[in-house]
Amino acid sequence: MQHKHIPLKQQRDVGEMITTYFEFFKQNFKPFLNIFISYNGLFILGFLGVSYLMVTGFIGAYNASNNYGIESDNSGYFMMLGLGFMGFFILYIITAVLNYSLAAVYVMQYEKNRGAIVEKKKVWETVKQNLGKIILFIILMVFGYVIAMIAGIILGFIPIIGTFAYYLIVLAYTSWVGLSFMAMINDNKDVTDAFGEGWKLMKSFFWKSVLSNLVIGMLLGILMMVVMMVPGILIGVYAFHSLDTGVDLANSAGANVVWTLALSLLLILYTLNQSMIQFVNGILYYSLHEETYNEATRERIENIGAGE
């Protein structure tokens, strides 16, 4: 099926970036969700597992600590809770790398196909071909993020201006790594060259990069809150009904299932949200790249000349 192609290689201001992003989001959310589920199936089961460990461990430890006058060994519950957090951390790192890559490659394949359906096999093949570079990139990105966070925290001690500087650093760093990752994938650059290209684009169009990430990130955050309101309301109704009928939520197997599913859903949505954020920098990359190098413009001029 051929979609109406949204040309990404166009010069755009911040307002046009926001409009283009949500047009792209509307058109490509379902196809990308199919890819997301296909390659995150095992990890979704993993999130269910770690959610069960965290919920069971927390509730068990809570119940044990509230049995006044009765000695009980709650070390097993704390172990479950610890294993749950450890499992979540490992899954978070793996899924972050995977979905950051899937989103970037999806945007690249979309632009390459000019609106045709993006094949999930091609997305996965591209990720596999660049896996070594992706892992190295993520490692360097994490180190850089730690440095950026430390710098931001130090600046955060300065009243008002420090807080503004902190968020500015985080947004600038997010833009830089997002643009760099796209340069690495799209132009097949080495990791260091990709960081250099990303820095060049981010520095040349600093406020456009920062504001695009800020505004779209905020809108995505609001959208995620709205999505989470539905299960949140249902869980609230369930909890109210359970308390009203005298159900002990702390010892109810049904309640444990509900809390586990709710936590799993939250973790999965958060993981999906990471991909949606990388879409921002994918679209931003093509816009800034075109504004810098005018490749698509020159190609259109050459095609017009050839047609004459």
Q: What is the pLDDT of residues 110-159, one digit of tens each?
A: 998 887 788 888 999 999 999 899 999 988 998 988 888 888 788 878 87
Q: Which residue has the higher pLDDT, 113 or 248?
A: 113
pLDDT value at residue 48: 85
Please give the backbone phi and psi of residue 118, each rounded to the nearest 5 degrees, phi first: -80, 125
Pair 178, 205: CB distance under 8 Å:
no
Reference 286, options 119, 117, 106; nearest CA is: 106
Pair 51, 271: CB distance under 8 Å:
no
CA dist., res. 205 & res. 13, Å (int): 10
- pLDDT band for 52, please (50, 70, 90 cuts): confident
CA dist., res. 28 & res. 11, Å (int): 21
Reference 25, options 253, 246, 304, 283; nearest CA is: 283
Q: What is the pLDDT of residues 207-242, one digit of tens each?
A: 999 999 999 989 988 988 888 787 777 777 766 766
Q: What is the pLDDT of residues 57-71, one digit of tens each?
A: 777 776 766 665 555
Burial pattern 269-288, b for ≥16 Cβ within 10 A else e, equals eebbbbbbbbbbbbbbbbbb
Has residue 307 got a pLDDT over 60?
no
Q: What is the mean pLDDT of the chain?
A: 83
- pLDDT band for 254, please (50, 70, 90 cuts): low
pLDDT value at residue 163: 81
Reference 104, options 287, 285, 292; nearest CA is: 285
Q: Which residue has the higher pLDDT, 92 or 74?
A: 92
Tokens of 188: 């097949």
- pLDDT band for 16, please (50, 70, 90 cuts): very high
pLDDT value at residue 41: 83
pLDDT value at residue 198: 94
pLDDT value at residue 17: 92
Dihedral, 265, 269, 272, 274 alpha carbons, nearest 10: -130
Beta bridge partners of 116: 2
Has residue 88 got a pLDDT over 90?
no
Q: What is the pLDDT of residues 264-278, one digit of tens each?
A: 788 788 888 888 888
pLDDT value at residue 289: 92
Region of 46 on the Ramachandran plot (φ > 0 left; ψ -120 to 50 alpha; else beta) = alpha
Which DSSP helix (H) or strand (E) runs through 191?
Answer: helix 191-204
Q: What is the pLDDT of residues 178-189, one digit of tens each?
A: 999 999 999 989
**Average pLDDT rounded to a whole number, residues 239-254:** 63
Tokens of 306: 């050839």
Could you tell me the end-to-end alpha-carbon distance of the chain, in angstroms, rounded to an integer? 32
DSSP one-letter string for 128-160: HHTHHHHHHHHHHHHHHHHHHHHHHHHHHTSTT
Beta bridge partners of 275: none
211, burial (CB in 10 Å: exposed 0-12, middle 13-18, buried 19+): middle
pLDDT value at residue 208: 94
CA dist., res. 11 & res. 286, Å (int): 9
Has residue 195 got a pLDDT over 80?
yes
Reference 180, options 171, 170, 192; nearest CA is: 192
Has residue 172 got a pLDDT over 70?
yes
Beta bridge partners of 79: none
Query: What's the longest Cα–Cα distance across the chain?
Result: 93
Pair 126, 110: CB distance under 8 Å:
no
CA dist., res. 10 & res. 151, Å (int): 34
